[in-house]
A and B are shown apart, each in its own frame.
Chain A
Amino acid sequence: MSVDDIVLADDMFERVGVDQISSEHLEKPALTYWADVWRRFKENRLALFGLILLALIVATLFVGPALSGKDYQHIDSSIKNQRPSAEHWFGTDDMGRDIFTRVCYGGRASILIGLLCTAVMMVIGFALGALAGLRGGWVDNLIMRMAEFVGNLPYLIIVVILTMVMGRSLFALVFAMSLTSWVGTTRMVRGQILQLKEQDYVEAAKALGSDMWRIIMRHLLPNTLGIIMIQITMSVPGFIFGEAFLSYIGLGIRPPETSWGALASYGQEKLMFQPHMLFFPSLMIVLTTLSFHLIGDGLSDALDPKLRR
């Protein structure tokens, strides 16, 4: 474009100087960390779907039996092996028990086990990780060697042996499954603490006389919260699967209590003739696992600093 082509008024050449306002193009005001994480999580439709799905499932588990009005233990051979109907929403099993109610009760057990095991894993993992990170020295070394060893152990074999030996109480199940699961959490917590130790503000606070341990603890939790949440979403379904597996080989929860795993493994044997006995508990396992999975994926995307806008 040639300079001569334009008709220029005289005032066009008035000096204007630096434009303070538009010379700095400001970004949108940054949100606080958690507000930003929540915002990003909300925008992820799949993750939101997972959250809602999970909430629905849990609600059903609690409210379901009241709604259906059936007793999960009530045996009635006259109505056995019925397909789903208005009367029995998920049908009946080979002893005439209402499957929907049984699925609800079973779900409570499955999710309870999942949560309990995860809780134990977190507590042990946190304790050991904090000990290793804060104490350092031989304590740290010992714990890390233990972690490496335990991490190398064949999980399955240990769980099977322990359950076999300890019987099939809830305590035994939880104990067996969480015993070797703390390794990842321990490493993570220890790593975070070591990182925090390096921070300048910790040094500064220490120089001012503050108790270093208290500082680290105060900062540790907020920093690790995100990662912990993701670990929870991955662990709970893992433990549900674990219990289902144990049920399948005959080591799971003991009757008359039941779990999704127990229901599903029982239903698997009857698959050819009563597919609904396998279908519904399996569906619940899949949906629950799926919702945790989606939430976990959504969380890790929301927490990823590289994706922050």
Chain B
Amino acid sequence: MARFLAKRVLYELLTLFLIVTATFFLIAGAPGDPIAAKVEQMPARAQAVIREKYGLDRPVMERYFAYMKNLLRGDFGESIVYTGRRVNDVIRENAPISARIGLMALALDLLIGILLGLMMALNRGKAIDHVMRVVVVLAICTPLFVSAALLQYYLAFKLKLAPIFGWGRPEHYIMPVLAMAIGGIATYAKYMRGSGLFVIGEDYIITAKAKGCDKGRILRKHVLRNSMIPIVTMTGPAIAGIFGGSFIIEKIFSIPGLGRYYVKAVGDSDYTMVLGLTVFFAVLYVASLILVDILYCVVDPRIRIPGTER
């Protein structure tokens, strides 16, 4: 198992490195002058000073190595649009907020999604199954900003169950977390239903019954673990989805999170900020990939034993 993991980790770190490099060169190669808007009004000498500050007077490769060196020291750069605003500060201030919402949404996704899917599998063909299937399909077919907006309109605006937007008090968590969790719940439920149905039809379930296991025991000890294995593989993409979701959710509910900041930076053409935040996201993303690999090893014993890779 250790060897398997080590290989994966190395691979994913390489991926990270390549992403950062590619992003850097892409942004560096973007047409136009990154600080054009800023220095429009300034005399030539002031322009030169600013250009030097951001290293724009130096060749690309030099800038690249300088950037990588800084990165390894933990410095993600400085905003080109808002002088003095360091990417690290932005991350420090806004990331925890996004993280909290994202993790809570993920927890909801897993908890409710898995249980819902299992319930649907156990009640296959009955009314509740059909109803939930329709709900799940509709949820999957609705883009996030639509479902979030609808939720906001009906639950917060009309029914006044939670604040419409804003941040600062515990109640402000309700809407964004809920909105973010919907898509994930539906997706997990759908796949858990399929996985659950598959496992229920397997021979070892009959064996368990033949041993005298009652329904509850069969569910807990035999169905649950085996149906969850394929679900684990979905957690990686789910985390990626949380990133994207944060862009939208934070905009709709006015949450001062990293996603909203990212969108703003893109809109401002704040290249260094975009680069810095992208690198940060990439790090998180790769970390989550590694986490999923570890999770997979834990859940599926077939992976752990060398020589029995699937």
Q: 11 extra interchain contacts, Cβ-Cβ under 8 A, other than A152-B11, A244-B143, A248-B248?
A: A154-B282, A157-B243, A161-B23, A164-B266, A165-B29, A245-B145, A245-B247, A249-B247, A282-B146, A286-B142, A290-B137
Per the 8 Å Cβ criterion, residues 246-298 of B in contact with A are 247-248, 251-252, 263, 266-267, 269, 274, 278, 281-282, 285, 289
B263 in complex: contacting residue of A155, A249, A275, A286, CB < 8 Å: A249
Residue B174 at the chain A interface, CB threshold 8 Å:
no
Q: How far is the CB of A118 from chain B (nearest CB, A)?
A: 17
In the assembled complex, the Cα of A100 lies from the Cα of B126 at a distance in Å of: 39
> Are A165 and B26 in contact, CB atoms less than 8 angstroms apart?
yes
Specify which chain B residues have a CB less than 8 angstroms from the CB of A289 in the assembled complex.
140-142
In the assembled complex, the Cα of A261 lies from the Cα of B15 at a distance in Å of: 31
Per the 8 Å Cβ criterion, residues 242-299 of A in contact with B are 244-245, 248-251, 261, 264-265, 268, 271-272, 275, 278, 282, 285-286, 289-290, 293
> Are A271 and B143 in contact, CB atoms less than 8 angstroms apart?
no
Residue B82 at the chain A interface, CB threshold 8 Å:
no
Specify which chain A residues have a CB less than 8 angstroms from the CB of B30 in the assembled complex.
164-165
In the assembled complex, the Cα of A164 lies from the Cα of B26 at a distance in Å of: 10
> Are A165 and B289 in contact, CB atoms less than 8 angstroms apart?
no
Q: How far is the CB of B263 from chain A (nearest CB, A)?
A: 5
B interface residues, Cβ below 8 angstroms from A: 11-12, 14-15, 18-19, 23, 26-27, 29-31, 137-138, 140-146, 149, 152-153, 157, 240, 243-244, 247-248, 251-252, 263, 266-267, 269, 274, 278, 281-282, 285, 289
A interface residues, Cβ below 8 angstroms from B: 148-149, 152-157, 160-162, 164-165, 167, 237, 241, 244-245, 248-251, 261, 264-265, 268, 271-272, 275, 278, 282, 285-286, 289-290, 293
Q: How far is the CB of B187 from chain A (nearest CB, A)?
A: 12
Contact A272-B157, Cβ < 8 Å, known A245-B248, A248-B145, A286-B138: yes
Closest 7 CB pairs of A and B: A289-B141, A282-B146, A165-B30, A154-B285, A156-B244, A290-B141, A249-B263
> Are A245 and B244 in contact, CB atoms less than 8 angstroms apart?
yes
In the assembled complex, the Cα of A268 lies from the Cα of B252 at a distance in Å of: 8
**Count of inter-chain pairs, beta carbons less than 8 A:** 108
Q: How far is the CB of A7 from chain B (nearest CB, A)?
A: 48
List the B residue with the shortest CB-CB distance to A267: B149
Interface centre among B15, B143, B252, B263 (most CB of A within 10 A): B143
> Are B142 and A282 in contact, CB atoms less than 8 angstroms apart?
yes
List the B residue with the shortest CB-CB distance to A290: B141
> Are A157 and B26 in contact, CB atoms less than 8 angstroms apart?
no
B278 in complex: contacting residue of A152, A157, A264, CB < 8 Å: A157
In the assembled complex, the Cα of A244 lies from the Cα of B138 at a distance in Å of: 17
Contact A271-B247, Cβ < 8 Å, known A156-B240, A165-B27: no
A285 in complex: contacting residue of B146, B240, B244, CB < 8 Å: B146
In the assembled complex, the Cα of A154 lies from the Cα of B282 at a distance in Å of: 7
Interface centre among A153, A162, A241 (most CB of B within 10 A): A153
List the B residue with the shortest CB-CB distance to A272: B157
Contact A154-B243, Cβ < 8 Å, known A245-B143, A248-B248, A272-B157: yes
List the B residue with the shortest CB-CB distance to A260: B143
Q: How far is the CB of A299 from chain B (nearest CB, A)?
A: 15
Specify which chain B residues have a CB less than 8 angstroms from the CB of A271 in the assembled complex.
149, 152-153
In the assembled complex, the Cα of A293 lies from the Cα of B247 at a distance in Å of: 25
In the assembled complex, the Cα of A286 lies from the Cα of B29 at a distance in Å of: 38
List the B residue with the shortest CB-CB distance to A46: B137
Q: How far is the CB of B165 from chain A (nearest CB, A)?
A: 11
Specify which chain B residues have a CB less than 8 angstroms from the CB of A249 in the assembled complex.
247-248, 251, 263, 266-267
List the A residue with the shortest CB-CB distance to B288: A154
Specify which chain A residues have a CB less than 8 angstroms from the CB of B240 in the assembled complex.
154-156
List the B residue with the shortest CB-CB distance to A281: B146
Specify which chain A residues have a CB less than 8 angstroms from the CB of B266 in the assembled complex.
160, 164, 249-251
Contact A250-B267, Cβ < 8 Å, known A161-B278, A164-B30: yes
In the assembled complex, the Cα of A162 lies from the Cα of B12 at a distance in Å of: 22
Specify which chain A residues have a CB less than 8 angstroms from the CB of B149 in the assembled complex.
268, 271, 278
